[in-house]
Amino acid sequence: MSTSILGISAYYHDSAAVLLVDGRIVAAAQEERFSRKKHDARFPGSAIKYCLDEAGLKLDNVDHIVFYDKPLLKFERLLETYLAYAPKGFRSFVVAMPIWLKEKLFLKTTLRRELAALSNVPESKIQTLLFSEHHEAHAASAFFPSPFSKAAVLCLDGVGEWATTSVWLGEDNRLTPQWEIDFPHSLGLLYSAFTYYTGFRVNSGEYKLMGLAPYGEPRYVDLILDKLIDLKADGTFRLNMAYFNYATGLSMTGKRLHQLFGAPPRKPESGLTQKEMDIARSIQVVTEEVVLRLANTVHDELGAEYLCLAGGVALNCVSNGRLLKESPFRDIWVQPAAGDAGGALGAALITWHHYLDRPRRVNGNDDSMQGACLGPRYSNEEITDYLDAIGAPYTRLDDAELLPEIAALLDDEKIIGWFSGRMEFGPRALGARSIIGDPRSPNMQSAMNLKIKYRESFRPFAPAVLADRVSEWFELDRKSPYMLIVAPVNPSKRNALSVTEENRSGLEKLDVPRSEIPAVTHVDYSARVQTVHADTNPRFHELIARFEARTGCPLVINTSFNVRGEPLVASPQDAYRCFMRTEMDYLVMENILVSKADQPQTQEDTSWMNEFELD
């Protein structure tokens, strides 16, 4: 008889649900994809329903339900923090306490009530609730799906219950905690503080800060190390909390930090200056230095050859690239849903391996994430039923006709929405819900940013490259299936620049094509690489192979199928709506090809842009 485990993360940000059956990941999804509210933190009712439907289960058939956090420990941390900073944190205390007393403190009751409402099962019958610790869930999500039988595990995020940085040793089916750094000393919150200071939104703008960094110079590194963070040789650190407001306040940074950098935080949506670029570069350099020192220490202490990573900081793919290149570990593996959504997976895996003491099976090469394509899929019939209902013209082609046609359209610099197979779990589009384009086009980056994504022009795009061709184009000699490693473009593919071009500064650097694939080459010659594999994403692999056969280029631009402020599209309805709101040329949904030129002329609707918080 099989054993099923439902993992849940919720109530902080990026709520999600994951279902395991006999230890195998059957389904995983974030609530935001169904609710269309980015970073939705509410109870993941729709995600749970999807997971159960995918497995053909009802809630009362699930053997164990586990939550990724221990709310009483988190409440203890809040109270102790407020007491330590009293009376400074009174305003924040007044805001936070009613929410905790009403919703979060008695979470077991809340979860039972929500689950009962979702399933029509009496609350009294929902008895199998378990709770993992937050960083334990992160560590489990990093190690248990990895290909390694033994590895060091490093978790770095904002904060869990108390821990902000934790180190674990993973061996077979066990995770053993080693040590941790506790709140308020947090690398994740330090990075988020500078995200806030440079005018971006915390918990979603960190990618922007990382993308902005190559436009700047590391002018403020010494200032940060002298005033803000006491960094030891072993990578451990303490923050000078006199400069920060996040422990008890209603903002991330305090007046002293603003005085230190000579101005208040940049107003969101205002113009970027060289100062913001230099700050972005400086905090990125500091972050990488902390992570590298920690990794060296962990390697020396544990003697493991491999490193697994999770927590929000693990999504810093520039740092990951340096780890791969400069740390003493033979290889690293990063959980693709490294943030709180992945906590649902980790909590379920802790239940399977620790609580039930079930073994792991690894081969040293393949992870168990199945390419992270663990969400819902839609049939051609479901897609055509929807398009017929709204009167949208389309053409249906089998892959033998469709894929060469898409390759030709890409070669003609058309921008295409690509909706294929199961939706990705985690923040990256990996070839299931993607917008794709020709990386050889010097105009494609700005066109896709401004006309498709409606976001800042400086944001880089990622290359999706056939796995067996990656080292020809990038300085990377291994897998990167989850777009979590930055690597330099191979020097043989770079363009020679004039002195004038080399000396451009700030956003002027955008105007210089730096390689044969300028649309995916950042201004420092780096790229956030996704290797595409025939065994985990055969259709996307075949499409890129068709593009290579036509053009000699074995990669395409791959960016997430959404616009700014929206989550990744989940359904055909989401995809068509996004397609019609942007300047994409074609939409492919499974075997259905939709041309923008053929669609009914409708008055442009921009009201949707006000429905979401711009980040």
Amino acid at 166: S
Q: Report the pLDDT value the prediction gives residue 291, as an integer from 0 to 100.
A: 98
pLDDT digits (tens, 9 = 90+) for 577-593: 999 999 999 999 999 99
Q: Per mean pLDDT, which range of 94-108, 335-349, 512-526 is the poorest?
A: 94-108
Q: Report the pLDDT value the prediction gives residue 607, as an integer from 0 to 100.
A: 46
Q: Report the pLDDT value the prediction gives residue 506, as an integer from 0 to 100.
A: 82
Residue 277, pLDDT > 70, answer yes
Stretch 377-381: mean pLDDT, rounded?
98
Kind and range of the H or E run holding 139: helix 134-143
Q: Report the pLDDT value the prediction gives residue 251, as an integer from 0 to 100.
A: 83
Q: Report the pLDDT value the prediction gives residue 161, as an integer from 0 to 100.
A: 74
Stretch 91-115: mean pLDDT, rounded?
68
pLDDT digits (tens, 9 = 90+) for 192-239: 999 999 999 998 899 999 999 999 999 999 999 999 999 999 999 999
Cα distance between residue 512 and residue 522, in whole Å: 10
Q: Report the pLDDT value the prediction gives residue 36, as an integer from 0 to 100.
A: 97
For 517-528, what is the HEC assignment? Answer: CHHHCCCCCEEE
Percent of the chain whose predicted confidence (pLDDT) is above 90: 77
Domains and CATH numbers, the chain: 4-146+336-370 (3.30.420.40), 180-334 (3.30.420.40), 380-610 (3.90.870.20)
pLDDT digits (tens, 9 = 90+) for 156-191: 998 887 889 999 999 999 999 999 999 899 999 999
Instruction: Give 119 or 299, the one with higher predicted confidence.
Output: 299
pLDDT digits (tens, 9 = 90+) for 544-587: 999 999 999 999 999 999 998 899 999 999 999 999 999 999 99
Q: Report the pLDDT value the prediction gives residue 614, as an integer from 0 to 100.
A: 35
Q: Report the pLDDT value the prediction gives residue 609, as an integer from 0 to 100.
A: 45
Q: Report the pLDDT value the prediction gives residue 167, as an integer from 0 to 100.
A: 98
Return the structure tokens found at 528.
């956030």
Cα distance between residue 440 and residue 591, in whole Å: 26
Report long-range pairs for 94-100 (Cβ below 8 Å, ≥24 apart): 95/250, 100/75
Q: Report the pLDDT value the prediction gives residue 610, as an integer from 0 to 100.
A: 42
Q: Per mean pLDDT, which range of 17-21, 99-103, 114-118, 600-604 is the poorest?
A: 99-103
Q: Per mean pLDDT, which range of 92-96, 319-323, 452-456, 476-480 is the poorest?
A: 92-96
Stretch 493-515: mean pLDDT, rounded?
86
Residue 604, pLDDT > 60, answer no
Instruction: Give 20 or 92, the one with higher predicted confidence.
Output: 20
Q: Which residues, at least 6 apart from 325, have a Cβ–Cβ distance to it below 8 Å?
A: none
Cα distance between residue 80 and residue 197, in whole Å: 27
Q: Which residues, at least 6 apart from 26, have a Cβ–Cβ distance to it below 8 Å?
A: 19, 20, 51, 54, 55, 374
Q: Which of these, 282, 268, 160, lies nearest to 228 by C-alpha position?
A: 282
Q: Which residues, at least 6 apart from 246, have a Cβ–Cβ distance to it below 8 Å?
A: 184, 189, 192, 193, 252
Q: Per mean pLDDT, which range of 30-34, 518-522, 603-607 is the poorest?
A: 603-607
pLDDT digits (tens, 9 = 90+) for 21-69: 999 999 999 999 999 999 999 999 999 999 999 999 999 899 999 999 8
Which residue's entry shows tokens 């593919």? 493
Round the average pLDDT of the chain to a whole number and report it: 91
Question: Dihedral of CA 460/461/462/466: which sign?
Answer: negative
Q: Report the pLDDT value the prediction gives residue 95, as an integer from 0 to 100.
A: 59
Instruction: Give 129 or 234, the one with higher predicted confidence.
Output: 234
Q: Report the pLDDT value the prediction gives residue 4, as an integer from 0 to 100.
A: 97
Return the structure tokens found at 72.
């009483």
